[in-house]
């Protein structure tokens, strides 16, 4: 079955084959599928700070348009995967983040952008459009950090190494999300040697009170130090967590203590903890 769909901005999504299961999913979820095809979403940004309390970057997160149809980002990506639109949505989300950062952020501020390894079956081909947009918007490749999305099971390490190599070849950096929980194990980190190691929020939550978590965090830090990976603590919500991570010598922090995801960055890029 051949399907040709035209989304917003004149972009075309062409498929040579759609399974009956995928077709049924699309029919039964046409409202959400319409959001994907029309790209009725935008990118919010959550601050990433160093422990001098300075904003040094933002993670970009997919969100509904302010006056658009509501959706949960995780559910949208899961539906896209089931319906065969995950590559299209993953690329569209990356482009949205790049374009938003180009409009709102000055040079020198890091932009952390998620990606699905399974959507990039051929890095040299699949990432071409991403690199072209960065070039067209005259953005510095060194400002970009592409991170493996947290919901993606990492079971093909050589493929992910190839993706990392392609990003780095273009002058960009890479990050591994949720280290210490789920699929982002310490062993995966040791093999991939990402530029940034994002420690999972489950380890950071009340880490100041939990000796077991503290040991795991120190082990991750020691291993990351062997290949020069920068440590980023995710999900910091309490001042005590912030102080523990700072005293331990982590590089960066992220969480509601510093700021929630917002449509625009703070005007002066200040952060007071």
Q: Where are the domains of the chain?
A: 3-254
Tell me what pLDDT residue 39 has: 96
Tell me what pLDDT residue 25 has: 92
Query: Could you list the mean pLDDT of each consecutive 10-residue stretch along the chain, which spans 273 residues?
Result: 47 66 92 96 98 95 94 95 94 97 97 93 90 98 91 77 96 94 76 95 97 96 96 98 97 97 83 54
Look up the CATH number of domain 3-254: 3.20.20.450
Tell me what pLDDT residue 271 has: 53
DSSP string, the chain: --EEEE-GGG-EEEES---HHHHHHHHHTHHHHHHHHHT-EEEEEEEEEETTSBEEEEEEEEEE-TTS----HHHHHHHHHHHT-HHHHHHHHHHHHHHHHHHH--TT-EEEEEE-GGG-SSHHHHTHHHHHHHHHTT--GGGEEEEE-TTS----HHHHHHHHHHHHHTT-EEEEEEETBTTB-HHHHHHH--SEEEE-HHHHTTGGG-HHHHHHHHHHHHHHHHHTPEEEE----SHHHHHHHHHHT-SEEESTTT---BSS--TT-B---
Tell me what pLDDT residue 7 has: 47
Tell me what pLDDT residue 53 has: 87
């Amino acid at each position: 079955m051949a399907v040709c769909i035209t989304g917003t901005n004149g972009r075309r999504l062409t498929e040579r084959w759609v399974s009956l299961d995928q077709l049924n999913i699309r029919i039964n979820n046409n409202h959400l599928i319409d959001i994907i095809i029309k790209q009725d979403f935008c990118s919010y940004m959550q601050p990433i700070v160093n422990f001098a309390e300075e904003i040094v970057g933002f993670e970009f997160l997919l969100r509904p348009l302010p006056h658009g149809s509501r959706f949960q980002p995780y559910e949208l990506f899961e539906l896209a995967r089931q319906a065969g639109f995950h590559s299209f949505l993953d690329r569209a989300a990356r482009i949205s983040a790049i374009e938003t950062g180009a409009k709102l952020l000055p040079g020198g501020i890091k932009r952390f952008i998620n990606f699905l390894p399974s959507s990039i079956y051929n890095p040299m081909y699949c990432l071409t459009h991403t690199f072209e947009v960065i070039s067209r918007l005259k953005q510095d490749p060194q400002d970009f950090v592409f991170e493996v999305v947290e919901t993606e099971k990492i079971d093909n390490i050589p493929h992910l190494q190839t993706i990392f190599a392609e990003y780095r070849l273009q002058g960009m950096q890479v990050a591994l999300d949720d280290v210490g929980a789920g699929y982002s194990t310490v062993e995966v980190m040791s093999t991939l040697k990402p530029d940034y190691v994002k420690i999972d929020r489950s380890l950071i939550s009340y880490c100041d009170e939990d000796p077991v978590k503290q040991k795991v965090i120190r082990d991750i830090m020691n291993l990351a130090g062997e290949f020069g990976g920068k440590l980023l603590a995710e999900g910091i919500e309490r001042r005590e967590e912030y102080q523990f991570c700072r005293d331990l010598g982590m590089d960066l922090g992220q969480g509601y203590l510093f700021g929630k995801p917002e449509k625009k960055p703070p005007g002066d890029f200040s952060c007071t903890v």
